[in-house]
Structure 1
Amino acid sequence: MTTMTNSDDLDIINGIVARARKAQKAFETGATQQRYDIAAQAAAWAILEPERNRALAELSVATTGLGNVQDKIAKNHNKTLGLMRDLLTARTHGVIRDDPESGITEIARPIGVIGAVVPSTNPAATPANNIINALKGGNAIVLSPSPKGVPACETLLAFIYAEFDKVGLDDDLVQMIPAPGSKDKTQRMLEIVDLVVVTGSQDNVRRAYRCGTPAIGVGAGNVTVIVDETADLAATAFKIAQSKTFDNATSCSAESAVVVLDEVYDQFIDALGQNGGALISESGSQTIVDKLWPNGILNRAVIAQDADKTVEALGLTDKVPADTRFLAVETRGIGPNHPLSGEKLSRVLALYRARDFADATEITRRILMHQGAGHSVGLHSSTKVRALELAETLPTSRVIVNQAHCIATGGAFNNGMAFSLSMGCGSWGGNSIDDNLNWRHFIQSTKVVREITERKPALEDVLAQYWKHVTG
């Protein structure tokens, strides 16, 4: 077998992007909103069709070793269905705003060729989300999947091409970097596309921001949730258990730490136990740390695994109840020397005890500043003002209130967040966006600016408040 040279790698990527540009120009020329809508719907049906959804879910678990089939089926379906709901009335072609008062008419325009780096944790749902958004905006897209995500990505594209054939769309609108992937191939793609979208490792995000192409990267998750003394403890425990165990905690939005007020701590532990949460006391936490991070590296035998495999890998067989679904490990440490305070990507939850709400807020702030700043926090409470307090003081882009966090953060049918698998974390997380990645990020616009009646204010109109303030 001939070893491919770096020059060969670059030629391959150059060719892929060149074909994408040609297809995109044809897609945009003479386009209508209907053309873009049909293309997005074709890609959506490629993953929503039940048999193909199951095939993708089974292949994803088999090839990545992460998550579980039933939850991936649900994720593929709900995230795509929700995205299509969001896109149903979205205008991404032609005049999208006409404001006589300002004299501005805004015309939606495609960005061109999107380059998307996608993770192995969601090897079908995340690419599908990016593809649908790209097509809705009139773009072509080139995907760079993780090595373990290649089979699922290849299969997804085959399903999309089958739908494209039905409506006369060019397969070159949706392509991927062929296996074997490499950093050189991905880097070249980053450099020559028109917009880069990166979900996954922070190393990839940093590379994207340095590549010279406009980039949207998302931050690291390490979700911390506060349970206060006014929370409905039974409902809270149920939601946290539901979220923590969904797809074996592959989501960056799954709860990583829970901070519980002292007043309800014991009752909450009982409620967690009723939902399959096995408590590991602080005295036993070091054993968990040693097995979860042998040699300082997160144990692959635990990452996103079923409960029984997690329990076995952590040496807890016969030491926790047989119906254990996840582990809640008591700890107080925060920072680099306390790995439980960071993201665990497993059915392991760090459990902190707080004196009061102010203490809980400070613990949460310290955890976020260690890891996960800008992503999101959760609050289970009946006191409305506390969510506002967290939003005004913590380095976070989202405060998720009384919801199963990993299901709510990326958009749910019972909240108003955009359906997405990629969450921007603002300047706190080193990102250019603080919103859920959505269709608006896949278009740009041209403004037609007309002359209007002059609106020039007098100095006193704009400075009266200041003058009054300084003169008393």
Structure 2
Amino acid sequence: MSTLDKDLLAIQEMRDAVIRANIAQAAYMQYSQQQVDHIVKAVADAAFKEAERLANMAVQETGMGVPNHKKMKNEVASRDVYEDIKDLKTVGVVGFDRMKKVTEIASPFGVIAGIVPTTNPTSTAIFKTLISLKTRNGLVLSPHPYAVECTKEALEICRVAAEEAGAPEGLLHCLTLSSMEATQQLMKHPDIHLILATGGGALVKAAYSSGKPAYGVGPGNVPAYIEKSANIFKAVRQLVQSKSFDNGTICATEQSIIVDKAIAEQVLSELKKNNAYILSDEEKVKMEKLISPVPGKVNPQIVGKSAACLADSIGVTVPEDTKVLVGMETMIGKNIPFSLEKLSPIFALYTVEDSTEAKQVMIDLLNIGGRGHTCSIHTENTALAEQFSVELPVSRIVINTLSSIGAVGGTTGLAPSFTLGCGTFGGNITSDNITARHLLNIKRMAYGIKDVEVPKPKFLTKPVVENIKAQDPSLDTAVVQQIVDQVLKQITLQNK
């Protein structure tokens, strides 16, 4: 089959999916809150039950990540997301202010285009399905070319459960013929009402350029600061756990460690105790070439690979239980591989004199990629944590926890989400963790609560001037106009 034939078939599949989803969504709009909630629970339960099988499929198809870690992601995307949204009102009247006599009424967007990344293909599919169903929206998923089968299976599990629970047929779709052209046309389709884009920068930019309302998210290049007051034992253990979780594929995973000089030796010692391998200068140079063969661009082949696999790729033998690789770094820039977002268990480690220098290093790292996303701080100094939170250009500041899991709501009180907004820091419309609340139009019915007296209009000055001129044609029009303006000004001031 030629590429042209494949693209044409993919475009036709997309158009058919959009048509069917719109027909089904029109019917779904009539469902009650009770019916919607029954469907959402059925889908969450079905996805949770299949979390392990879907995780294995994702690792097998993409070659990225760790099966039992992806299982955890699937469980968060199903159970935790459900727990977060289950009591949310999304049908009919959802709020009423008695004092202001304003009634809020929920209305769905319509049909949503969901772009799914290769790093979290099944968990993102489950997440976007649940929040779409909860808000009475239809959904057409476009999977990453390297993750079509596992994304399709995740959607299929959700679709079957939804329809068995009473959802109209055709409400949920996953495109199966991988085609960038079809994805581009999906985002511009007149019957797509919102784009929910999770993926690479180019795809998110395309979503914003489509002319449609879009929730896109920026990249993460998360800096993690271990401040001198931190519990070093706990901080290092959490950093290694977080970085090695699913081999670093979550965009909120820490990419660089910044540590106060006073505790640097202790941190290095703890890193080694926690199965981190510190690269020698020579090994670091080899790793730099693997991370970024082309300056400024990260090698996609390293994404989601284990520390041992990455070390083997550059001919370095590390202990079998090595969880992360660490390179000592002093520079920051697009052409400095260790300072980039690596999406793999590779850390850069910077040593700083104090918190002032640490803050600047964090800002510099965010400025080369990751503005608006997330930063991590390990400290017992609450005033410092608050100061950094106020001053750093990020939307999430996670304190004394794993950033990878904390930012998505796993270990924090943040809303469970697999689409993390970066605000205008990162060129996004929102800084929120995207969830069902973001997929609703809220209509407002408002009663009049104040009586106002509309003042009588002032008479125009032109008839007054013409009347005076008619009585004495010799008068200069400009002079008369000036006198009238002054009189009217006095009257206006008296009336105030």
* SS at structure 2 position matched to 1:447: strand
Q: Distance in 1 between matches of 2:63 and 2:180?
A: 22
Once the two structures are superposed, residues 186-238 of structure 1 have per-residue CA deviations (whole angstroms, 9 ceiling, x without a partner) of: 11111120000100101000000010110010010111010010000000011
User: What residue in structure 1 maps to residue 326 of structure 2?
Assistant: 328
User: What residue in structure 1 maps to residue 240 of structure 2?
Assistant: 241
Do structure 1's residue 19 and structure 2's residue 14 form an aligned pair?
no
User: What residue in structure 1 maps to residue 443 of structure 2?
Assistant: 446
Q: Distance in 1 between matches of 2:39 and 2:66?
A: 30
Task: Report 1:65-80 matches (<5 A).
Answer: 65-80=63-78
Which residue, out of 423, 428, 434, partners 1:426? Answer: 423
Instruction: Tell me if the contact between 1:301 and 1:313 (Cα under 8 Å) persists in the aligned partners.
Output: no
Q: Which amino acid aligns with 1:222?
A: N
Instruction: Tell me if the contact between 1:115 and 1:197 (Cα under 8 Å) persists in the aligned partners.
Output: yes
Instruction: Tell me if the contact between 2:42 and 2:162 (Cα under 8 Å) persists in the aligned partners.
Output: yes
Instruction: Tell me if the contact between 2:39 and 2:166 (Cα under 8 Å) persists in the aligned partners.
Output: no
Q: Which amino acid aligns with 2:96?
A: D
User: What residue in structure 2 maps to residue 212 of structure 1?
Assistant: 211
Q: Which amino acid aligns with 1:415?
A: T
Q: Distance in 2 between matches of 1:63 and 1:294?
A: 25
User: What residue in structure 2 maps to residue 461 of structure 1?
Assistant: none
Q: Distance in 1 between matches of 2:234 and 2:10?
A: 53
Which residue, out of 167, 170, 173, partners 1:169? Answer: 167
Q: Distance in 2 between matches of 1:308 and 1:406?
A: 21
* SS at structure 1 position matched to 2:395: coil
Instruction: Tell me if the contact between 2:40 and 2:162 (Cα under 8 Å) persists in the aligned partners.
Output: no
TM-aligned CA deviation for residue 245 of structure 1: 0.3
Q: Distance in 1 between matches of 2:23 and 2:107?
A: 16
Q: Distance in 2 between matches of 1:197 and 1:455?
A: 44
Task: Report 1:53-452 matches (<5 A).
Answer: 53-179=51-177, 181-192=178-189, 193-282=192-281, 284-296=283-295, 298-317=298-317, 320-412=318-410, 414-452=411-449
- Compared CA separation, residues 9 and 280, structure 1 to 2 (3 A): closer
Once the two structures are superposed, residues 34-62 of structure 1 have per-residue CA deviations (whole angstroms, 9 ceiling, x without a partner) of: 1211222222123101xx22221111001
Measured on the aligned residues, the alpha-carbon RMSD in Å equals 1.8
TM-aligned CA deviation for residue 162 of structure 1: 2.8
Q: Which amino acid aligns with 2:311?
A: V
Once the two structures are superposed, residues 368-412 of structure 1 have per-residue CA deviations (whole angstroms, 9 ceiling, x without a partner) of: 011100001010000001121112211111110000110100002
* SS at structure 2 position matched to 1:253: coil
Any stretches of 5+ residues in structure 2 without a counterpart? 454-496
* SS at structure 1 position matched to 2:186: helix
Identity over aligned residues, as a percent? 31
Larger radius of gyration: 2
Once the two structures are superposed, residues 315-336 of structure 1 have per-residue CA deviations (whole angstroms, 9 ceiling, x without a partner) of: 221xx44432111110011111
* SS at structure 1 position matched to 2:373: coil
- Compared CA separation, residues 284 and 65, structure 1 to 2 (3 A): closer
TM-aligned CA deviation for residue 169 of structure 1: 2.1
* SS at structure 2 position matched to 1:375: strand
TM superposition score normalised by structure 1? 0.91
Q: Distance in 2 between matches of 1:125 and 1:238?
A: 25
Instruction: Tell me if the contact between 1:124 and 1:153 (Cα under 8 Å) persists in the aligned partners.
Output: yes
TM superposition score normalised by structure 2? 0.87
How many matched pairs? 449
* SS at structure 2 position matched to 1:368: helix
Q: Distance in 1 between matches of 2:376 and 2:441?
A: 33
* SS at structure 2 position matched to 1:172: coil
Q: Which amino acid aligns with 1:81?
A: R
TM-aligned CA deviation for residue 7 of structure 1: 5.6
Deviates more, 1:159-168 or 1:426-435: 159-168
Instruction: Tell me if the contact between 1:285 and 1:331 (Cα under 8 Å) persists in the aligned partners.
Output: no
Instruction: Tell me if the contact between 1:302 and 1:313 (Cα under 8 Å) persists in the aligned partners.
Output: no
- Compared CA separation, residues 9 and 123, structure 1 to 2 (3 A): closer
Q: Distance in 2 between matches of 1:145 and 1:122?
A: 10
- Compared CA separation, residues 300 and 315, structure 1 to 2 (3 A): farther
Q: Distance in 2 between matches of 1:335 and 1:455?
A: 61
Instruction: Tell me if the contact between 2:45 and 2:79 (Cα under 8 Å) persists in the aligned partners.
Output: no
